[in-house]
Chain A
């Protein structure tokens, strides 16, 4: 490991700078730049194949960078072997060592680092208590539930007191019914650790719940990196809007008291929109499923839009309706007891859609 320049060395957690990973001629991750502070969790999200796991593996030293660098606690680890990086890795499906007990799994990293037996035992006992696995210490991984395995994998990674904790889809192997509770447990465990945590997930709820900041990736590159609130309120593009909130981001321009969409076919009164300044150039309207309402008796003016219902999904307390209007797919959430005809008129529910006003360049 080498010392990085002063500007980078000042960062006490994880710093990834213009990191690029190539598999042959394919760029799996391109010019990734992000930082994670100690005690912070950054979520890497994006569709399958966008380079999230590759970035994680690059930080762990399991795939080489072709360009860029990675620093952990101010030390350049770009060319360092995995054992010397000070990371704890929790891969998808946890990769517990099947022939070892829970306690031996947790102790593995400490044995590899030749931690004295007494300290090792003390750490294992502490982590067993922290993860409520004490009564399962002698069990083998195949005797554990999915949630218990997740906790063993996390305890195993935390046992080496990693500077950086890498979590690759930690909930993906769990039943959806279990995820809510385990998400809260995981959040508490991450708070208890003081590591810089990089979390890879394709689940927007997981990203929003666990990530203090979120990086959205597409085709190997970061599309947007910021706090969950920043991304929620001012998505950089349609992918971020759709991925994080199932929202639509529609180009608009202002005309007097209206935001004009779809080449003038829809004029949304400005007093019904929440106005925000956008850091991403153009003026757009952010439509979430709850932003729209069906208006049966709307006047035949351009404040409402004709739409065709293409799909209706009953989700318990509500109907999730997919519409097509002006060649664009929109979604709308309505009470479950509302009858929905095939052709409807929709309007913005006042106060539930945002106007993102582009800053002039």
Chain B
């Protein structure tokens, strides 16, 4: 079983990445792997158009992460600690965007808030709508955990103010969930194409746009090199998610 799962993961995740890396470092991939010899030139060429786009994508992703932690943190606390029909409804509605095709969501947002589009604010809000369910999924169970609530009660009874309880008990207990949510939201926002394609102002492309453009109009080696650069940005974040999940698993035993 383990070997079968490993084989599937290797075949569908690592193998395509490996193929992309080979294409990105081949002089002419149409002659096969490393056809014409290996080279790093494509990576250099790929970075030039990507550099300004990377900065924009990073800024958007970090902004979305920040808003997620602020807004998602508050909503998660409310949903976890004040169960009512209203929190049930909000918990349900927050997840609705996951079930709606990106194009439909994008058209609805653009149609409803057209003045927000040119500034790029609508793109950030669209990413927020799309990623908020992941933040709630990470934080609500932690905040609803009776053992955390008991620890908060004890801290209060020992003389701690609400702020001190939040700072010394609640936030540390949510640290893994917060970090997981942040990493996941960053990864989703940084690579999001579907919604961004419709919502984003055309003059301000993000990384996935550049990749799309490269694959549509450029050489495979150049597009592959851009993909490798994209992966280089995202791998540490994904690695952090895995590490946090392992840590969370260990701390529960």
Residues of A within 8 A of B (CB): 57, 60-62, 81-85, 87-89, 91-93, 95-99, 108-109, 112-113, 142, 156-157, 160, 166
Contacts and interface: CB of A to CB of B under 8 A. Distances in A.
A112 B155 contact: yes
A99 B148 CA distance: 12
Given A98-B251, A99-B172, A142-B251, A112 B159 contact: yes
B99 interface: no
Interface string B56-83: 0000000000000000000000000000
Contacts of B172: 99
Interface string B173-201: 10100000000000000000000000000
Contacts of A99: 172-173, 175
Nearest to A82: B156
A14 to B, nearest CB: 14
Interface string B142-179: 00000100110111111111001000110011010000
A60 B154 CA distance: 9
Given A98-B251, A99-B172, A160 B159 contact: yes
B160 A95 contact: no
A152 to B, nearest CB: 12
Given A112-B164, A142-B251, A95 B153 contact: yes
A112 B147 CA distance: 20
Chain B contact residues: helix, strand, loop or mixed: helix
Contacts of B151: 95-98
Contacts of B168: 97, 108
B57 to A, nearest CB: 34
Contacts of A89: 153-154, 157-158
A83 B160 contact: yes
15 contacts: A57-B153, A82-B157, A83-B156, A83-B158, A84-B159, A89-B153, A89-B154, A89-B158, A93-B147, A95-B150, A95-B153, A97-B169, A108-B158, A109-B158, A113-B159
A92 B149 CA distance: 12
B173 to A, nearest CB: 7
Contacts of B160: 83, 108-109, 112
Contacts of A85: 157
Nearest to A85: B157
A59 to B, nearest CB: 10
A83 B159 contact: yes
A99 B168 CA distance: 9
Contacts of A166: 157
Give the interface residue-count category, chain B.
10 to 19
Contacts of A93: 147, 150
A240 to B, nearest CB: 30
Contacts of A84: 159
Contacts of B155: 97, 108, 112
A91 B153 contact: yes
Nearest to B160: A112
A160 B155 CA distance: 11
Given A62-B157, A83-B161, 6 more contacts: A83-B157, A83-B160, A88-B157, A89-B153, A98-B251, A112-B161
Nearest to A62: B153
A341 B105 CA distance: 77
Interface string B86-128: 0000000000000000000000000000000000000000000
Nearest to A153: B154
B153 A60 contact: yes
Contacts of B147: 93, 95
A61 B157 contact: yes
Contacts of B157: 60-62, 82-83, 85, 87-89, 166
Contacts of A82: 153, 156-157
A62 B251 CA distance: 28
The 5 closest A-B pairs by CB, nearest first: A109-B158, A95-B150, A112-B160, A89-B157, A112-B159
B170 to A, nearest CB: 11
Contact of B156 (A62, A92, A113, A142): A62
Contacts of B158: 83, 88-89, 108-109, 112-113, 156-157, 160
**Of A95, A96, A97, most B-chain CB atoms within 10 Å:** A95
A94 B154 CA distance: 9
Contacts of A98: 151, 173, 251
B150 A109 contact: no
Nearest to B250: A142
Nearest to A166: B157
Nearest to A164: B157
A166 B154 CA distance: 11
Contacts of B159: 83-84, 109, 112-113, 160
